[in-house]
Amino acid sequence: MLKIRLVEINDANEYRKLRNDNYQWFFSQKRFTREEVRDWITGTIDSRDNSVYVCEDTNTQELVGTVSIYNVKEDSAEIGRIIVNSQRKGEGIGLVLLREMEQYAGLRGLEILWAEVMKDNLASKNLFLKAGYKLVQENNKKYTFERPVRPITPNEFMKGLK
């Protein structure tokens, strides 16, 4: 069973491994040290502008994925940093993470989620297309996708977590 929750400082080592194992799909192309990841997580824990979530396999207590909402504006935010453990790809975890964040965005009153994806990252491109995001911009390095967010009540959100 999968559980999606806010990242905690104790997740730093596993998060770092997931992130560094997939560094080639990030625009920065950077690998992070343990200290850098711990500092970054610490800075996001109480932030409303940069929410980082992890997906935990409750049977193994292993982190199998991550997702973030950041660059939050009045009515929109960027969704990204979607990482799925390479041994768990193909199980639909990326789509689960995306849908959960869409509900969270609707609860927060956001109207649009958008994402930038490297052109070489076909898995992410296909994920956003499968999830109904529209390609709104393209250049030689990246695609930009966006999708309207459906407003959601706290009760609807809590039902979706069960």
CA 7 to chain centre: 11
Q: Where do the domains of the chain lie, and which CATH numbers do they carry?
A: 2-161 (3.40.630.30)
pLDDT tens-digit map of 93-147: 999 999 999 999 999 999 999 999 999 999 999 999 999 999 999 999 999 999 9
- Whether 144 and 137 have beta carbons less than 8 Å apart is answered as yes
CA distances 48 to 17, 57, 127, 136, Å, are 25, 26, 25, 26
* Residue 156's pLDDT band (cuts 50, 70, 90): confident
| 68, containing H or E segment | strand 62-70
Helix segments in 25-120, DSSP class H: 34-44, 93-107
Tokens of 76: 């929109």
Amino acid 162: pLDDT: 52
pLDDT above 80 (res 46): no
Phi-psi region of 84 (alpha: psi -120 to 50; beta: other; left: phi over 0): beta
The span from the CA of 96 to the CA of 60, in Å, is 18
Q: What's this model's pTM, rounded to 2 decimal places?
A: 0.87
CA 83 to chain centre: 7
List CB contacts of 99: < 8 A, sequence separation 6 or more: 131
Lowest mean pLDDT among 3-7, 40-44, 128-132: 40-44
Type of residue found at 93:
I
pLDDT, mean over the chain = 91
- Whether 79 and 104 have beta carbons less than 8 Å apart is answered as no
